[in-house]
Amino acid sequence: MRLIPKEIESLWTLFTAPTIWAVHFLVCYVLVAVYCEKAAAAGFTFAQMRLVLVLITLLALAGIALSAWLAWRQWGFGSGDPPHDAPTQEDRLLFQGFATLLLSGLSFVSVVFVAVPLFFIETCQP
What domain count does the chain have? 1
In a domain, 67, yes or no: yes
Q: Which residues contact 25 (CB under 8 A, 6 or more apart)?
A: 110, 111, 114
Report the SS3 class of residue 121: coil
In a domain, 8, yes or no: no
**Mean pLDDT, consecutive 10-residue segments, the chain of 126 residues?**
55 85 96 85 83 96 92 68 60 75 94 92 78
In a domain, 87, yes or no: yes
In a domain, 48, yes or no: yes
In a domain, 124, yes or no: no
Q: How far apart are CA 84 and CA 98, in angstroms?
A: 9
Can the peptide bond before residue 83 be classed as cis, meaning omega within 30 degrees of 0?
Answer: yes
| DSSP structure class, residue 118 | G
In a domain, 73, yes or no: yes
The whole domain housing 57 covers 13-118
In a domain, 32, yes or no: yes
Q: How far apart are CA 65 and CA 56, in angstroms?
A: 14
What are 6-27's pLDDT values in tens digits?
555 566 777 899 999 999 999 9
